[in-house]
Amino acid sequence: MLQRIAKEALSGLTVAIVALPLAIAFGITATGTSEGALVGLFGAIFAGFFAALFGGTPGQVTGPTGPITVVATGVIASHGLEGAFLAFIMAGAFQILFGLCRLGSLIRFIPHPVVSGFMGGIALIIILGELDQVEQSFLVVALTVGLMLGSARVIKSVPASLIALVLMTVILRFGESLLRDVRLGPVPLNETIDYIGKIPESIPTLSLPDADGSMFVTLLLPALAIALLGSIDSLLTSVVMDNITGSRHQSNKELIGQGIGNAMSGLFGGLASAGATVRSVVNVRSGGRTWISAATHSVILLVLVVGLGAAVQYIPLAVLSGILILTAIGMFDWEGLRKAHVSPKGDVAVMFVTMIVTVLVDLTVAVAAGVGLALALHAVQSRRAKASVAQDDTTTYSIEGPLSFLSVDRVFTTLRGDHSDLSVSLKDVTYIDLSGTKALLTFIDHSHERGVTLGLRDLPPHVENQLVALADDSQRDKLKAVGVKA
């Protein structure tokens, strides 16, 4: 027991190191001031702690994320920090209501291309938002990105973002003058380097934002937008966690935990947050499997906040821009983009429409547009709405109908079980979309990891071709093992 707790605590320390620069960067981006460093950190501390304590995805780490930061930036610009904190509290209340109304299960109906397009759009928004800093301090941003890429290859035990943050801060603290007039050929760069500056050193205190009835009405839609995006972002991370651990999260409990976390974050002056995919994956890979590791990450950040202002003031804003840009680049579904030419054309269209609408219009509109287009394409491809699963005997199943985003969760939940041998007939699968293909490949991976002898029978050519086209190199041998001609 003590050994398990020690391992969880060590994993929490690792995640806190990863989260520190990201929380500062997202906080400053959202507020546009040095005060944002604490706002971002308080979000990671309070939303992270209470979401871990009350959430439904063991080991999931909550903190400021790209989608939330994009929406929060607009709310802060329009209503100030006090209004934004009230919106975060209201968003938390909405999320608790979502959980109590059992809306969490709706996440299973969001198609994979919508998720890819949505995250790609958010990445573009973040990159576009950092272009001013790139123009002002190009060399510093470039050196930060290069240092992160290089250190990630050489040093595995320390997060690349932390290495870049510390080294670039030290280098610029003592060698800033060397970069003031760096020449690339005959043209000087004339770098202008801005720093975070002094931030207040304070222990967070509970405070209810001042507001009247009209303010609640004004903030209703922004709070609902934060709640919806935070819920989608968190539950998508929960799905990623399920895929890694082979477990199954409790979506409605997770929404309640996220709601409590965001309400507490707003009360303590922190940024609204959501389940953070990168930090959660780091936690799992470091050995974190329970709420203890995720909560420990928040406690460690709280310890670091006390007296942090003196050190943080020397961090160059261009270094944070480099960290954010590389983080945003990692948000793109590069595998999906690389295989767009062999993916179903309709799914590719859904991905790009969602991405474009995210950048040009609005995040919530983008998700609605993507899901609507996916439903229309599904209706054209198949008259039948969902696939069904029939159990022929103890270890033999048959799937019938369209294996699409509308049915993959129910189909593979049925197929999961305490099996040592499993045979699945796909003879009557009339149509398979990108979500169905990805889910089937994931099911094959999990069966292999659990030692289940899986066989796929009677594969129609369109299903077999799709599996082979979208499988990565590590999955091809597994496809051969289950009966696919890869």
What are the DSSP calls for 221-245, one per residue? Answer: HHHHHHHHHHHHHHHHHHHHHHHHH
Which CATH number applies to 388-481?
Answer: 3.30.750.24
pLDDT value of position 244:
77
Distance CA 433, CA 321 (A): 37
3-state class (DSSP) for residue 396: strand
In whole angstroms, how far apart are CA 75 and each of 129, 216, 232, 295, 434?
16, 13, 19, 28, 35
Closest of 257, 243, 298 to residue 441, by C-alpha: 243
Distance CA 323, CA 147 (A): 10
Phi, psi of 112 (to 5 degrees): -55, -45
345 within 8 A of 110, measured Cβ to Cβ: no
- Alpha helices (runs of H) in 382-433, residue ranges in sequence order: 408-415
Q: Model's pTM, two decimal places?
A: 0.84
pLDDT value of position 177:
61
- Alpha helices (runs of H) in 314-407, residue ranges in sequence order: 317-331, 334-338, 345-360, 363-381
- Residues facing 389 on adjacent strands: 399
Distance CA 337, CA 40 (A): 31
3-state class (DSSP) for residue 401: strand
Q: How many other C-beta atoms lie within 10 A of the C-beta of residue 345?
A: 10
pLDDT value of position 483:
84
pLDDT value of position 449:
85
Distance CA 157, CA 106 (A): 38
pLDDT value of position 240:
81
Q: Which residue has the tokens 């909550």?
A: 62
Handedness of CA 35, 265, 223, 113 (dihedral sign): positive
DSSP state of 389: E
231 within 8 A of 95, measured Cβ to Cβ: yes
Q: DSSP for 177-214, please give it.
A: HHHTT-EETTEE------B------------PPP--HH
Distance CA 304, CA 345 (A): 49
Domain boundaries, the chain: 2-327, 333-381, 388-481
pLDDT value of position 184:
52
Q: List the chain pLDDT tens, one digit each, 486 residues.
A: 777 788 888 888 889 888 888 999 999 999 988 889 899 999 999 999 999 999 999 999 999 998 899 999 999 999 999 999 999 999 999 999 999 999 998 887 889 999 899 889 988 998 998 999 998 889 889 999 999 999 888 887 777 888 888 899 888 877 666 665 555 555 455 567 888 877 666 678 888 887 777 889 999 999 999 999 999 999 988 988 887 777 788 999 999 999 999 999 999 999 999 999 889 988 888 888 899 999 999 999 998 887 666 777 788 889 989 998 998 898 899 999 999 999 999 999 999 999 999 999 888 889 899 999 999 999 998 888 889 999 888 889 999 999 999 999 889 888 887 778 899 999 999 999 999 999 999 899 888 888 889 999 999 999 999 999 999 888 888 898 888 886
3-state class (DSSP) for residue 394: coil
Closest of 280, 272, 296, 283 to residue 42, by C-alpha: 272
